[in-house]
Amino acid sequence: MQDASAQMALLQFMTCGMASTVVPASIHCDHLIVGKKGADTDLEASIATNSEVFDFLESCAKKYGIEFWGPGSGIIHQIVLENFSAPGLMMLGTDSHTPNAGGLGAIAIGVGGADAVDALTGTPWELKAPKVIGIKLSGRLSGWAAPKDVITYLAGKLTVKGGTGSIIEYFGSGVDTLSATGMATICNMGAEVGATTSTFPFTQSMKRYLTATHRGPIGNLAEEVNKETGFLQADEGAEYDQVIEINLDTLEPHINGPFTPDLATPISKFASTVKENDWPQTASAGLIGSCTNSSYHDMTRVASLVEQADKAGLKPKIPFFITPGSEQIRATIERDGLTQIFEKSGATILANACGPCIGQWDRSEEKGLENNASNAIFTSFNRNFKSRNDGNPNTMNFLTSPEIVTAFIYSGSTTFNPMTDTIVGEDGKSFKFDPPSAGEELPSEANGGFTKGTRSEFYPAEDTTPVPETEVAVSPTSDRLQLLTPFEPFNNQELKLNVILKVQGKCTTDHISAAGVWLKYKGHLENISNNTLIGAVNKETGKVNHAIDFDGSETSIPELMIRWKNNNVPWAVIAEDNYGEGSAREHAALSPRFLGGKLVLTKSFARIHETNLKKQGVLPLTFADPADYDRIPSLSTIETVDLIDMLSKGGDNGGFVTLKVTKPDGESFTIKTKHTMSKDQVEFFKAGSAINYIGSVRAA
Ligand code: F3S
């Protein structure tokens, strides 16, 4: 669990009354740390701002026997790769990029906090059997092409919806040419195509990585088990629901964005695409690292480019930030002289934390960005929805490999192609990058492989035996943390609701429950709910965060929700495709439920968000005929006709729920909608939430 989502997961776990977790668990303090000036000052300031939350998480960890990885230790997925992931492991993580662990052959799935509570309490965790997309890799990467390009290319092919309901499994001869960390990068960004998870078969590079991270015996065992059983590789003659082939020999670097990770442009076409779309022709910053791309391999390749530029007398033209994924990476690249190369060039090394990747980026002192000015940044991160990085909706984030980001930093121009173009230095001489070196897959064994560094305060206690008498303090006056009051159970009557909002177009979890400044309220449901759907576009007015009440008064969306909640008017939201795409953010389900939402009716859902809604007692339905979306205006009344029947059959009623719709002008009609409620999920709905249900089962 990362620190932002762990708060709500643990607040929910606490309501179950258990003395310890049933499976091993860990907490990682990474999302709440702001990037601004550099690691030391930023970390100190962020610890001061968030001490109440960190103390809460640490006390929960102690009480329930959970590993606590403090602020500065690193980003959850990198720490998992370095310490926990292993071929054949099955793991849930409260973050959508949990599949990063697939780089070591794990099946690792991103979930919401309530799903994590399933694992923590030993409750069976359920998933609709996914399809399997096979990606056949052949050839070998060379030159500028990097593992990141496998997934940026694939995102363009599959789009943000293409992996929904599927596991992506890589196979083919190209797999054996990749480093474990390169495979982790590819699995990490499988989240961007909506995949349930991504995974690779066992490879020798996994064994090498396990050895370098001081887990040699696990690598040996994996190899042995695989030889005996073949469980860690594709079955002979395996059939996939879909196969896509990628030849690594000819793969071109790609740049994806802005504002969506599937807008993929090969580098050779990027300059013309920038001009055609009138995107800014100057870049404003370059950022590398994060959970996606801060491996030793990445850093050595980037260092080879920085050294070339340095030799030619070039300096970065725009701010250059580097986020190490963990203290282990930071300490190792410092020991091996890479940090010195970066710092000499003028790069800023940020704390080992999410920082700019999740809106925790303070650019207030940068000139030219006043009033949300349009600007372009290049990052080696994984996600680029509007406002994601610096809170500015006009910051265009172009996702690419760290090598390509670095080249843009020295050019400063968005129309630059490092494979063909030159940069003119201050001395008037032209400089052309050679492709990055092949890099070092791992730190040398002679140097002792990876070092953990000397900051023992970043690491968890050796002994994680639960200490039940530990007091978990939550102040009643805190604006950061609030104990939960269970949601009321279903009253066993057909629902009757009003449509509070009809959402137009893309509506990600960032639109439903914005991050950035709101992250600090993750443990306080009432306060964070003031952000509910503030990023959504109202289909009828075309405006963002705009709603209209029965009396015609105009309000923000959360204001109207609070008003209706106070007046006991339950409500529904109507939306279009892939509603809730993007992340496992359970607040995107908790907040609507807290504010009186009972039904979300869409053309389609993103898987994790749909599950999260069910866990919080909200009914997710999809239009049997998507054209019905156009027939229902806001303020309509919706009544379920056969919900009780569906619930009484444990969801096994053929998969439909009928709705009677009465429009504000009095016209009335019925429509058919589809549900995916399983037997357990029906129990969650009836109990008011999954936690209520688990608590009652545990008590019994
Ligand atoms: Fe953190 Fe960004 Fe990764 S928020 S976990 S660095 S995707």
**Could you please report the per-residue DSSP string of 124-144?**
----PPPEEEEEEEES---TT
Q: Is the CB of 590 under 6 A from ligand 1?
A: no
Kind of pairing between the strands at 554-555 and 90-93: unpaired
What was the pLDDT predicted at 363?
Answer: 94
CA of 200 to the centre of ligand 1 (A): 21
Candidate list 585, 587, 607, 609, residue with the active-site label: 585
CATH topology of domain 496-699: Aconitase; domain 4 (3.20.19)
Q: Which residues of 459-477 are buried (b: 16+ CB within 10 A; e: fewer)?
A: bbeeebebeeeeebebeee
Residue 75, ligand 1, Cβ within 6 A: yes
| Closest to 205 measured CA to CA, from 228, 189, 182 | 182
Backbone angles phi, psi at 157, to 5 degrees: -75, -45
Q: What distance in angstroms lies between residue 424's CA and the mean position of ligand 1's atoms?
A: 35
379 CA to middle of ligand 1, Å? 12
AA identity, residue 448: G
Please state the atom number of ligand 1 nearest to the C-alpha of residue 100.
3
Mark the ranges of the chain whose per-residue pLDDT is less than 50: none
Tokens of 316: 């970065």
Fold of the domain spanning 254-441: Aconitase; domain 3 (3.30.499)
C-alpha distances (whole Å) from 639 to each of 244, 498, 593, 631 are 44, 9, 18, 15
Ligand 1 neighbour 515 (Cβ under 6 A): no
CA distance 366 to 508: 29
Atom number in ligand 1 closest to CA 383: 7
Compute, in angstroms, the gap from residue 290 CA to the centroid of ligand 1.
Answer: 6
Q: Helix H segments across 538-651?
A: 557-566, 587-594, 607-615, 643-648
pLDDT at residue number 134 = 98
Strand intervals (E) in 234-277: 242-247, 254-256, 264-266
Ligand 1 atom with least separation from CA of 290: 6
What local confidence, expressed as pLDDT, does residue 519 receive?
81
Residues listed for the chain: 700
Quick check: is 585 catalytic? yes
Which pLDDT score, from 0 to 100, does residue 608 have?
81
Nearest to 483 by CA among 58, 25, 60, 70: 60
C-beta 506 within 6 A of ligand 1: no
Model pLDDT, residue 687: 96
Q: 307 CB contacts (<8 Å, ≥6 apart)?
A: 341
308-333: string of b/e by CB count within 10 Å (b at 16+)?
A: bbbebebebbbbbbbbbbbbbbbbbb
Sign (positive or negative) of CA dihedral 631, 659, 690, 482 = positive
d(CA 700, CA 696): 6
Question: Token pair for residue 673?
Answer: 């909608």
The predicted structure's pLDDT at residue 516: 79
> How far is it, in rounded angstroms, from Cα 501 to Cα 268?
43
31 has catalytic annotation: yes
Catalytic-labelled residue, pool 215, 297, 363, 383:
383
CB atoms within 10 A of CB 246: 21
CB atoms within 10 A of CB 454: 9
| CA 77 to ligand 1: nearest atom | 5
Judging by beta carbons within 10 Å of its beta carbon (0-12, 13-18, 19+), is residue 425 exposed, middle or buried? Answer: middle
Flag whether the ipTM exceeds 0.85. Answer: yes
pLDDT for res 610: 95
Q: What is the identity of the amino acid at 391?
A: G
- Flag whether the pTM goes above 0.95: no
511 is catalytic: no
241 CA to centre of ligand 1 in angstroms: 30
28 lines ligand 1 (CB under 6 A): no
Q: Is the CB of 357 under 6 A from ligand 1?
A: yes
* Short-list 105, 183, 172, 185, CA closest to 139: 172
95 Cβ closer than 6 Å to some ligand 1 atom: yes
CA distances from 214 to 68, 224, 448 (A): 20, 18, 10
Helix H or strand E segment including 286: strand 283-289
Q: How far is the CA of 507 from the centre of ligand 1 (A)?
A: 20
Structure tokens, 69 = 């990885």
Pick left, alpha or beta for residue 60 (phi over 0 → left; psi -120 to 50 → alpha; otherwise beta): alpha
Burial tier of 625 (Cβ tally within 10 Å: 0-12, 13-18, 19+):
exposed
Spot the catalytic one: 5, 26, 28, 30. Answer: 30
Of 26, 31, 326, the one to substitute when testing ligand 1's pocket (max ligand atoms within 8 A of C-beta) is 31
- What CATH number should be reported for the domain whose range is 74-251? 3.40.1060.10
- Concerning whether 30 is annotated as a catalytic residue, the answer is yes
Strands 197-199 and 242-247: unpaired
Q: What are the residues facing 195 on neighbouring strands?
A: 164
| 493 CA → ligand 1 middle, Å | 42
Of the listed 413, 583, 604, 636, which one is catalytic?
583
Q: Collapsing DSSP states into helix, strand and coil, what is residue 672? A: strand
Q: For residues 166 and 188, what is the distance between their CA atoms, to the nearest angstrom? A: 15
Q: Which of 291, 380, 383, 510 to mutate to test the pocket of ligand 1 (most atoms within 8 A of CB)?
A: 291
Is there a common fold for 254-441 and 496-699? no
- What's the confidence (pLDDT) of residue 521? 92
Taking the domains of the chain in order of start, what are their residue ranges? 74-251, 254-441, 496-699
pLDDT for residue 316: 97
DSSP secondary structure code for residue 462 in this structure: S
Tokens 């809170």, residue?
391
Furthest C-alpha separation in the chain = 79
585 lines ligand 1 (CB under 6 A): no
Two tokens, residue 625: 């005929």
The residue from 3, 5, 26, 31 that is catalytic is 31
